[in-house]
């Protein structure tokens, strides 16, 4: 069992470099913190390189729940209870055994080193370095009722994590991120998403042309969420599937098919880039009352995705 007590250890300096996007890109690795994220990574069979832990660490710390507390309410907060409930020592032992069995190295560190590694004020006493998954430029073709997201320059990592969390919960088939989005492997995005990234197909650095080509290949209907659009509830009146009914352009009659749907969500300040907006099939909006001008982009994503799923289930 390797032990490290000095913050000057070269290995620890390498881990700390993963706090920054440049370091993650150079090393091809990223850092996760907390029991819940480690459990999620192991459950999804991600490549865990090394686990750093403080022996007997208090697993009730705040890092796991702090990122997700503002993105989902009620029962959603219980997502990490299977890791943090019961005996702390037993949970620690189980997770470390699982990580070791999966091929991860185990390194016991001092509390000072753990504070150096951590990006939070209240480290839980465990962190892990994972290999970044191989970058893919494709994903599994969507089914007829699938929903996909294009996230255009979502800059706040907490917003990005929140959207990924609701995307996984709403069974989104895939997510495309344009250049200018926050790094989904950054610590704030990972905490905000509570590890949801690990369960999603996510393509990063997809420019406008690549997004358009993907949508054409997948045969999707493309909807842009913009304040100038028609009310979401008017578009969806009577609809029970993700996409609008397909219409034969020659006869004007419905074909009976309802294809997969792509939703575009834009930058927190500037909205959707004109390049993406230009080839959207429809533009939807959420109606606003009482002088409210807009909603947080993660909140918007949650409302729209669950309204679509509700309609799919035939509930009005």
Confirm whether 236 is domain-assigned.
Answer: yes
pLDDT in tens, 179-189: 999 999 999 99
Q: What is the pLDDT of residue 145?
A: 82
236 plus 187 within the same structural domain: yes
* C-alpha to C-alpha distance for 21 and 24, rounded to whole angstroms: 5
What would the two tokens of residue 103 be?
Answer: 């091929």
302 and 166, same structural domain?
Answer: yes
DSSP alpha helix (H) spans, the chain: 10-16, 21-27, 35-43, 63-66, 81-84, 88-101, 111-117, 157-169, 187-193, 208-218, 232-235, 274-277, 297-312
pLDDT at position 82, please? 40
- CATH number at 99 reads 3.30.1330.30
Dist CA 109 CA 5 (whole Å): 6
Residue 245: the pLDDT is: 39
**Whether residue 151 is found in the same domain as residue 121:** no
Place of tokens 């509930």: 315
Residues 46 and 114 in one domain: yes
Q: Is residue 136 part of a domain?
A: no
> What pLDDT, on the 0 to 100 scale, is given for residue 90?
67
Residue where a domain stops, chosen among 131, 159, 188: 131
- Burial label for 16, CB within 10 Å (0-12, 13-18, 19+), is middle
Predicted local confidence at residue 247, as pLDDT: 34
Residue 191 near residue 161, CB atoms below 8 Å: yes
Residue 9 in tokens: 């250890």
Query: 147: which strand partners?
Result: 261
Domain-ending residue, one of 106, 131, 156? 131
Q: Do 55 and 152 belong to one domain?
A: no
Which CA distances in Å does 293 have to 128, 136, 286?
A: 41, 37, 10
> Which of residues 99, 131, 163 is at a domain's end?
131
CATH code for the domain in which residue 233 is found:
3.40.1280.10
pLDDT score at 314: 67
The 10 Å CB-count burial string (b at 16+, else e) for 258-294 is bbbbbbbbbbeeebbbeebbeebeebbbbeeeeeeee
Q: Specify the number of domains making up the chain.
A: 2
| Phi, psi angle pair for 121, to nearest 5° | -75, -25
> Does residue 176 share a domain with residue 303?
yes
| Positions of the chain with pLDDT lower than 50, given as ranges | 58-86, 238-257, 316
172/235 same-domain check = yes
Same domain, 155 and 284: yes
137 assigned to some structural domain: no
pLDDT computed for residue 316 by the predictor: 47
* Residues 291, 189 share a domain: yes
Give the per-residue pLDDT at 311: 84
The answer as to whether 139 is a domain residue is no
308 located within any domain: yes
**Residue 287, pLDDT score:** 92
Shared domain check, 247 and 168: yes
- Size of the chain, expressed as the number of residues it contains: 316
Q: Which of 296, 261, 268 is nearest to 282 (CA)?
A: 261
Same domain, 164 and 201: yes
Residue 200 lies in domain: 147-312
Residue 213 neighbours by CB distance under 10 Å: 12
Q: Are residues 201 and 167 in the same domain?
A: yes
């Amino acid at each position: 069992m390797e032990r490290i007590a000095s913050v000057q250890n070269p290995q620890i300096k390498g881990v700390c470099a993963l706090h920054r996007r440049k370091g993650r890109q150079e090393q091809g690795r990223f850092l996760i913190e907390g029991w819940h994220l480690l459990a999620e990574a192991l459950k999804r069979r991600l490549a865990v390189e090394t686990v750093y832990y403080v022996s007997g660490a208090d697993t009730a710390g705040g890092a796991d729940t702090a990122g997700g507390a503002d993105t989902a309410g009620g029962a959603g907060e219980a997502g990490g209870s299977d890791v943090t409930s019961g005996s702390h020592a037993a949970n620690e032992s189980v997770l470390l055994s699982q990580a070791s069995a999966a091929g991860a190295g185990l390194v016991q560190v001092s509390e000072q080193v753990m504070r150096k590694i951590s990006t939070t004020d209240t480290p839980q006493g465990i962190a892990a370095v994972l290999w970044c998954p191989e970058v893919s430029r494709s994903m599994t073709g969507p089914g007829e009722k699938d929903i996909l997201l294009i996230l255009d320059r979502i800059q706040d990592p907490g917003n990005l994590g929140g959207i990924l969390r609701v995307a996984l919960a709403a069974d989104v088939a895939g997510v495309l991120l344009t250049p200018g989005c926050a790094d989904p492997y950054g610590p704030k995005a990972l905490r905000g998403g509570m590890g949801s990234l690990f369960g999603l197909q996510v393509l990063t650095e997809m420019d406008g042309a690549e997004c358009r080509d993907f949508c054409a290949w997948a045969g999707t209907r493309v909807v842009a969420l913009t304040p100038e659009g028609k009310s979401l509830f008017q578009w969806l009146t009577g609809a029970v599937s993700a996409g609008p009914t397909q219409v034969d352009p020659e006869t004007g009659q419905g074909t009976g098919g309802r294809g997969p749907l792509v939703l575009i969500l834009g930058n927190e300040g500037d909205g959707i880039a004109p390049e993406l907006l230009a080839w959207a099939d429809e533009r939807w909006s959420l109606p606003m009352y009482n002088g409210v001008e807009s909603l947080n982009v993660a909140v918007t994503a949650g409302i729209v995705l669950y309204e679509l799923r509700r309609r799919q289930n035939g509930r009005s």
